[in-house]
Amino acid sequence: MEPDLFTAAAEDRQEKDPAASPLAVRMRPRTLDEVVGQQHLLKPGSPLRRLVGEGADRTGGAAGPSGKGGDGRRVGPAGPSSVILWGPPGTGKTTLAYVVSRATNKRFVELSAITAGVKEVRAVIDGARRAIGGFGKETVLFLDEIHRFSKAQQDSLLPAVENRWVTLIAATTENPYFSVISPLLSRSLLLTLEPLTDDDVRGLLKRALTDERGLGDAVALPDDTGEHLLRIAGGDARRALTALEAAAGAALDKGEGEITLQTLEQTVDRAAVKYDRDGDQHYDVASALIKSIRGSDVDAALHYLARMIEAGEDPRFIARRLMISASEDIGLADPNALPTAVAAAQAVAMIGFPEAALTLSHATIALALAPKSNAATTAIGAALEDVRKGQAGPVPPHLRDGHYKGAADLGHAQGYVYPHDLPEGIAPQQYAPDALREREYYTPTRHGAEARYADAVEWTRRHLGRRRS
């Protein structure tokens, strides 16, 4: 028996006995038109629609004169034989694979790279070859978490992809350019899935409440409970439907016709956070996070971070605030602060929640405990103020561009001293415009690593022949 094979008989059983399957499975779209979100992948003539045979003749006309797909790779007359779906959890990677298999009337086999190995992959490929030879039935192999496969394990997929024994649809939450081997990536159509919006998940919940495959109007979902459910879901469709099913079951067991906020809280064991992402508290809590980091109160900072996470705040918004904090309040007192915040933002974009909470905690703790300096902030502020007041003046002639004909006649670049030609690497010449010759913007602190910059500023200004104002 091949692993996780969805046969026609299994689908029939699901349709006859919907209650036997989880709500997230019952509400799985049957066509691309039922897919929630990902509209950038579902436009007419898109590679994904061509994959299911929509809007394309056997010559691959929908791909355009070049015969290439949406990412520029050649798709070929019969469409791509391998697709890589890259996106956060709960955005519909498994769903899209299932829809493709259903729309193309192909066998659907699902493997997870967490539990499967080369042996299981070969078993599926052998079964696919037998199905082609014996019944003329092609196979869709959906491989979840492909980034967990080693290079050798991924290599085992290449013959099947090359010979089109299977249509491989691989899913990953990690950047495939780093986690998927080049030979497989070059033979695949890469489709990037975007996080679902609240409106996407709200529409999915509404459908699940009314659709006969779902709850069939058996229970109502008040607005306040629905909004908390959206926060719990965090853009994850599977999480939203799982929570809805559990809460609906609890409400019906109590004989209630609607899911109250209390019932939802009890069911999912998570208190509702009184937090309006579009209102004042959105800004108040974000402000409190930054001010707690600035004040070096790591515990308060973690509290506000937790409130933002629980309220369903976009993790990318939190990461952006941390990057700003690193420059605004820490600066050169800890030169590693900004790289830490940037790395956190990149990691958050790649992994999403819930794992992103660990990354945001890492960065928040590092920034809160870092030595603080706003010298870089005040320096650029003072420089911008002078420029806006019109205190600029012409660039000194010896600093002007001298690489064009006639520049020497104008005196441009004449008399410029190349600092690298001098023993100490400092050329005592005027750099600022005349009006700002003695202006000093950067006043470093002696906090943390910025102490060395303070020494460097003193030394360079002295060697430039300037005096502190």
Show the tokens assigned to 412. 């441009």
Residues 306 and 173 in one domain: no
| Pair (203, 185) in one structural domain | no
pLDDT in the model for residue 14: 47
Q: What is the pLDDT of residue 392?
A: 74
Q: What is the CATH number of the domain that holds 77?
A: 3.40.50.300
pLDDT band at 275 (very low <50, low <70, confident <90, very high): low
Per residue in 337-392, pLDDT (tens digit) is 999 999 999 998 887 778 889 999 999 999 998 888 888 888 888 888 878 877 77
Tell whether 381 is covered by a domain. Answer: no
The CATH number of the domain holding residue 350 is 1.20.272.10
Residue 282 has what pLDDT?
A: 65
Residues 155 and 16 in one domain: yes
Same domain, 212 and 264: yes
Decide if 222 contacts 260 (C-beta within 8 A). yes
- The answer as to whether 376 is a domain residue is no
CB atoms within 10 A of CB 31: 11
Neighbours of 178 (CB within 10 A): 9
Q: Please compute, for residue 421, the number of CA atoms within 13 A of its CA located in the half-sphere on the CB side.
A: 5
CA nearest 293: which of 231, 398, 243, 366?
A: 366
CA 141/CA 124 separation, integer angstroms: 8
User: What was the pLDDT predicted at 403?
Assistant: 66
Which comes out higher in pLDDT, residue 46 or 339? 339
Residue percentage of the chain with pLDDT more than 70: 83
Which residues are 5's β-sheet partners? 109
* Residue 420, domain member (yes or no): yes
Find how far residue 347's CA is from the centre of its chain: 8
Whether residue 111 sits in one domain with residue 183: yes
One domain for residues 219 and 300: no
* Within-domain flag for 379: no
Residues 137 and 255 in one domain: no
Q: Of residues 198 and 55, which shows the higher confidence score?
A: 198
Q: Give the CATH number for residue 203.
A: 1.10.8.60
On whether residue 275 sits in a domain, the answer given is no
CB 331 within 8 A of CB 374: yes
Reported as a single tens digit per residue, the pLDDT across 411-433 is 676 777 777 777 777 777 777 77
Contact predicate 101/4, CB 8 Å: no
For residue 325, being part of any structural domain is answered with yes
- Residues 42/53, Cβ–Cβ less than 8 Å: no
Tell whether the model's pLDDT for residue 177 goes beyond 60.
yes
- pLDDT range class, residue 272, cuts 50, 70, 90: low
CATH number, domain of 437, equals 1.10.3710.10
Model confidence band, residue 4 (pLDDT cutoffs 50, 70, 90): very low
Same domain (yes/no): 94, 153: yes
Whether the Cβ atoms of residue 469 and residue 438 lie closer than 8 Å to each other: yes
Mark which of 155, 174, 192 sits at the end of a domain: 192
pLDDT tens string 459-468: 777 777 765 4
**Least reliable range by pLDDT among 33-47, 177-191, 273-287, 406-420:** 273-287
Beta sheet of 167-172, edge-to-edge order: 5-6, 107-112, 139-144, 167-172, 82-86, 189-192
Verify that 14 and 151 share a domain, yes or no.
Answer: yes
pLDDT number for residue 73: 39
Q: Is the residue at 417 inside a domain?
A: yes
Over the stretch 158-169, which tens digit does the pLDDT of each residue have?
998 888 888 899
The arithmetic mean of pLDDT across residues 437-466, rounded, is: 77
Single out the residue in 329, 344, 369 at which a domain terminates: 369
Beta pairing, strands 167-172 & 139-144: parallel
Cβ–Cβ under 8 Å, residues 194 and 38: yes
Q: Which residue has the higher pLDDT, 210 or 456?
A: 210
Q: What are phi and psi of 403, to 5 degrees?
A: -95, 10
Structure tokens at 40: 């950038």
If one compares 221 and 392, the residue with the highest pLDDT of the two is 221
- Whether the full predicted model's pTM is greater than 0.75, yes or no, is no
Sorting pLDDT into bands at 50, 70 and 90, what band is 63? very low
* Range of the structural domain that residue 424 is part of: 386-463
What does the radius of gyration of the chain's CA atoms come to, in whole angstroms?
Answer: 30
Domain count, the chain: 4
Question: What is the C-alpha separation between 378 and 368, in angstroms, rounded?
Answer: 20
Enumerate residues 6+ apart whose C-beta is below 8 A from 87: 93, 173, 192, 193, 194, 195
Q: Are residues 38 and 159 both part of a single domain? A: yes
The letter for the amino acid at 272 is A
Looking at the structure, tell me whether residues 309 and 289 fall in a common domain. Answer: yes
Q: Which residue among 150, 165, 192 closes a domain?
A: 192
pLDDT band with cut points at 50, 70 and 90 for residue 407: low
Does 468 fall in a domain?
Answer: no
The DSSP symbol for 328 reads I
Same domain for 204 and 284? no
